[in-house]
Chains A and B, each alone.
Chain A
Amino acid sequence: MNVILSFIQAHLELTYVVILSIFLGVEVISRVPSVLHTPLMSGANAIHGVVIIGAIIVMGQAEADNYLALILGFLAVILGTLNVVGGFVVTDRMLEMFKSKKTK
């Protein structure tokens, strides 16, 4: 219990951010037409690509002789970028179709 308390103390701001983000996520999504479920999921998929930032940090902090960190970090950067770029492009392609039929 003490450990948890001291953790919250030490990361008070982050804890706030977490709790507020949870409610925000729920609020933002709660009223969506079912047609948009797929693009929304895909968009959210691209957003969690922020892990890429972690991968960049790992990579950037790796010592030159730490091959494990270098190789895995490199792999992580590639995979993370795939997630971000692919995610946004796929979402855009989906939404593009919605647009074209609206203008008809």
Chain B
Amino acid sequence: MENPNQNLSSPKEKFVKGFQKSLNDPQLRKNFRNASFALKSMRQTAFPDEAAFKELQELGHRIKMKALKNLGPLLRQLEQKCQEKGIQVHWAESTDEANQIVLEICQRNNAASVIKGKSMVTEEMHLNHFLEQHKIEAIETDLGEYIIQLDHETPSHIIAPAIHKDKKQIAQLFNDKIEGAGYTEVYEELNAIARKSLRKKFYKADVGITGVNFAIAETGTICLVENEGNGRMCSTLPPVHIAVMGMEKVIPTLEELPPLLTLLARSATGQPISTYFNMINSPRKEGEKDGPKEVHLVILDNRRSQIYQDEHLQKTLLCIRCGACLNHCPVYSRIGGHAYNQVYPGPIGKILAPQMNGLESTGGVHNASSLCGACGEVCPVKIPIPEILLRLRYEGVNKSRSSKVHEHGTQQNFKESMAWKFWEKIHASPVLYKTNSGLGNLLNSVMPKNAGPLKNWSEFREVPQFAAKSLHQLAREKGVADE
């Protein structure tokens, strides 16, 4: 896997270099701006009435919250129902365990090649890389995933993985990497090239691997949302289908599915419903002419159970992976997905990645937010992303042993703590505060503009001037009551 930042030491440095690189790349800036504008408009069209959206959002929130509150029993019910119908269920605490489970299934079936439907959870596992180390070819079949796999990249968006590329870049890539493709910028022709190349892979694959959008506990049903039909091929053509899910994907009954599906498709791409919606209930039964002979469901924890233990932070697990928060984020739409150096970029990534992989190890991505709240506003299941960001900032400097957040307290540094202590002293004392703010004119002249915190401010902004008289003084002079 190409990693231009591998020589840098700290995760923070990697993150900074990553976003600086994006910000200095006009092509990338343009691609993200156009794509996020398009996705935002499509969502807007799908939810024309704000009040109706809020009602549906509330319903989505309640459904997922209810499922989350009952997570343990629901997962056990799901396992039992699946097993009754011949779906083999596997539990993985870590991504290593999940990879091992997938590998064993592949090896038992003498698999040389695997086709994959789009799945973020397998990105969490770095499954493709792992399989290739074990001499199993893993081919992405979602068009966006296929494009980035050709270019040895990772997804830059959770539903539109190749969003960072425009038509011309894709045309060039196909021309360079696919034999006999030629150069074309016509969408239909580009699609046809990918389809032709992938079709052969579908026929010869030994195992199909997909993610899971929802798993229904009551019926043991694996639900897969997709637009290209590749997910259906991955789950029906090869003799073995492995579905991998994060443990938060389970919902109680089929009845809860329609509102969530409506929210997911509309929030993601503005579609009333996705082009394909697959409900997988069992392997091929006797007398049936198609479908896999084996269906496996791998349920992955990967620190989700740790996130689950905190009643506020567990709302991170409500996510249905629509990507709306990315499209509406003023930071993501400027720096793009790769800059974060995380599997999950954007607002959801800023709260999920630090909890999965550690506040320090993820480079402080949770700090890179202006807290504008656009993410929380559009989230179809009302995840309070800004509040969780604030909580993680607190956990970053919280050294208490009672904190359950991975790498809590690691963001505290002496200089910053002292600065806030100093700030506290001044603002908790009316006398000190008044002395300080009464020094307006003096502070204007002595505050260094090109050093300290003002340096970053003054590089592209004028430094604000302290007023000659504070509001405290003006209010006194005008005789405003002080009680």
Query: Do A and B actually bind?
Result: no
B binding-site residues for A, Cβ under 8 Å: none
A binding-site residues for B, Cβ under 8 Å: none
